[in-house]
Structure 1
Amino acid sequence: MTALATPVRAPERSEARGTTPSRRRPLRIGMLLLSILAVVIAAIWAFPVYWMINSSMLSTATLESSTPTFVPIGGSLSNFEKVLSPSFFSALAVSVGVTLLSVAVCLTFAFLASIAISRFRFRGRVSFIVTILLIQMLPAEGLFIAQYKMMSSLGLLSNVLGLSILYVAAVVPFTIWMLRGFVAGVPAELEEAAMIDGLSRTQAFVRITLPLLAPGLVASGVFAFLQCWNEFTVALVIMENNRTLPLWLRGFVQQSATQAIDWGQVMAASTIVAIPVIIFFVIVQGRMTSGLVAGAVKG
């Protein structure tokens, strides 16, 4: 009789199996420590925002006490009711008008210029790019006198159009440089392939290239929006009568020597000024996180 053959098992790698968890344990501990550190940094970063909102619901007496109040227990919205005056809505209208006009014009000029310097080779192209970089080195304070005289001669002092012109001139150089990177990242071969399939150059650009540049336009628009919305010094020089929101906010701390500053109203006004920025980010955050080449390989 022949003995039945029994399968021979390979020796188990007990050593390898025994050392794998021990190797992973330091990695997990390191990731846990990094996560805790990230949470601590985020809490430190977010605390001023929380303190602003918390203080906006407290009275001035509570804010000036030696014991800080970290939770607005028993607080009220009276500070917001006092802040929402006709002067606020007037400043809001000026800021919204200046910001929307500046962002629209800035993106239009920057988009066309970025396409020109990225897709075409022309005389003076390098000099134009260098000029854009040199303009960024000019200090804004050195231009105040010239800007004031220019706006005064044109009759555009305390005017939405005049302030928008200065904002566009200040923001458009960096926006061009920013959009240039997005345009250069989209291959020109995509348009050429679409033109081979029967589309014209304009149709290929609108259907293929423009959707791929949407995240870049949104990112550049966010930068231009923040620059125009939060700008203070140029508006202080040009806007003598009409005030933007930063100038309106300054009025709460620019009190007379005999009048104390109401910090509750200051914090409430700061919170209200920040709300439009938050709403804007909620609207555009989906575009900002979308892929730059999403849909590029659709048949």
Structure 2
Amino acid sequence: MEQNPSLGKPSWFSYFVLVVASLIAVFPVFWIFSTSLKPAEEVLSPNLTIFPKTVTFANYEQVLQGGMFWQWMFNSVMIALLTTVIGIILAATTAYAVSRFEFWGKKGVLFAFLVAQMFPGAILIVPLYNIMKDLGLLNTFTGLIIAYSTLSLPFCVWMLKGFFDAIPISLEEAAMIDGMSAFGTFIKIIVPLSLPGLAVTGFFSFITAWNEFMFALTFMTGESNYTLPVGLRTYVFEFNTAWHLMAAGAIIVTIPVLVVFLVAQRFLISGLTAGGVKG
């Protein structure tokens, strides 16, 4: 792709701003990684150092051998995957409906999704807690999956609607003339053409469920039902915090997200680019 001449060549100041912004974003991650390699005595020492004086992997070993760590890992993986699948199904069918069909209240539905996206998720904790309590879904994976799907659905619907709007309706009409049903055109034509958008919404749903803390802390009361972010809170004791163990746990928690990103990288980049143009 040729550069737009009107934009001109990037100046040294632009590169400087990019470098500074990158350092600001990367440094906290590097600090956590460095802390995870330090022994407890060095972490608690008043003389802070950026690089560890003594490199040790004992922190990772202690975290991985913790009594409930693998249970928390299983809980997080299961909840994140189910949230991703449910989020994609609900968002795709809803976005297709508002993109292709005219019905009473269509604008109201889209406006409701937009308004829901404007408020922070913390506002939903109390009403969702009361709903889960009345339904008997507290301290259950089902309740948490429903809550996470609620959080991710508005963004996913708007994202996919932009993709569906850009697909010519003539493709579906031609398929229907050949005898294909409306559901068949959705599965065999719309879904394959929207794979980048589905990848973005799936990744967003996965990240929402994987990183979320407040809902899991509020809804899950049994330690065996904790997710990884809530489980890391157990390293915060009454009078001190095991920062070396929490840092090691935080690094481990990021690994599945990096794996998912690397696997779906091609679809994610094209999906975000196309979504930004079409949306």
Give the TM-score range, shorter chain. 0.7 to 0.9
- More deviation, 264-273/139-148: 139-148
Among 213, 230, 236, the residue aligned to 2:194 = 213
Aligned positions of 1:1-299 closer than 5 A: 30-84=10-64, 85-138=66-119, 140-193=121-174, 204-241=185-222, 242-253=225-236, 255-257=237-239, 260-290=240-270
Structure 2 counterpart of 1:245, one-letter code: L
Residue 7 of structure 1 corresponds to none
| Cα distance in 1 between the residues matched to 2:11 and 2:38 | 40
TM-score by length of 1: 0.79
User: Is the contact between residue 212 and residue 292 of structure 1 (CA under 8 Å) also seen in structure 2?
Assistant: no
TM-score by length of 2: 0.84
User: Is the contact between residue 171 and residue 224 of structure 1 (CA under 8 Å) also seen in structure 2?
Assistant: yes
| Cα distance in 2 between the residues matched to 1:152 and 1:204 | 40
Judging changes above 3 Å, is the alpha-carbon distance between structure 1 residues 265 and 134 closer, same or farther for their aligned structure 2 residues? Answer: same
Task: Structure 1: state its 5+ residue gaps.
Answer: 1-26, 295-299
Structure 2 counterpart of 1:135, one-letter code: A
User: Is the contact between residue 200 and residue 271 of structure 2 (CA under 8 Å) also seen in structure 1?
Assistant: no
User: Is the contact between residue 199 and residue 267 of structure 2 (CA under 8 Å) also seen in structure 1?
Assistant: yes
* Larger of the two Rg values belongs to structure: 1
Structure 1 counterpart of 2:42, one-letter code: T
Judging changes above 3 Å, is the alpha-carbon distance between structure 1 residues 119 and 275 closer, same or farther for their aligned structure 2 residues? Answer: same
Which has the larger helix fraction? 2
Shift of residue 205 of structure 1? 4.1
Shift of residue 33 of structure 1? 4.5
| Cα distance in 2 between the residues matched to 1:291 and 1:161 | 29
User: Is the contact between residue 200 and residue 268 of structure 2 (CA under 8 Å) also seen in structure 1?
Assistant: yes
Which string of whole-angstrom CA distances, capped at 9 and with x for unpartnered residues, describes residues 15-64 of structure 1?
Answer: xxxxxxxxxxxx99854543343233212211111111111000122223
| Cα distance in 2 between the residues matched to 1:251 and 1:44 | 28
Pairwise CA RMSD: 2.7
| Cα distance in 1 between the residues matched to 2:87 and 2:232 | 26
Structure 1 counterpart of 2:164, one-letter code: V
Shift of residue 197 of structure 1? 7.1
| Cα distance in 2 between the residues matched to 1:171 and 1:41 | 28
Structure 1 counterpart of 2:57, one-letter code: L
| Cα distance in 2 between the residues matched to 1:36 and 1:196 | 57
| Cα distance in 2 between the residues matched to 1:110 and 1:223 | 12
Count of paired positions: 265
| Cα distance in 2 between the residues matched to 1:72 and 1:156 | 45
| Cα distance in 1 between the residues matched to 2:35 and 2:15 | 29
2:51 counterpart SS class = coil
2:148 counterpart SS class = helix
Shift of residue 179 of structure 1? 1.3
Task: Structure 2: state its 5+ residue gaps.
Answer: 1-6, 275-279
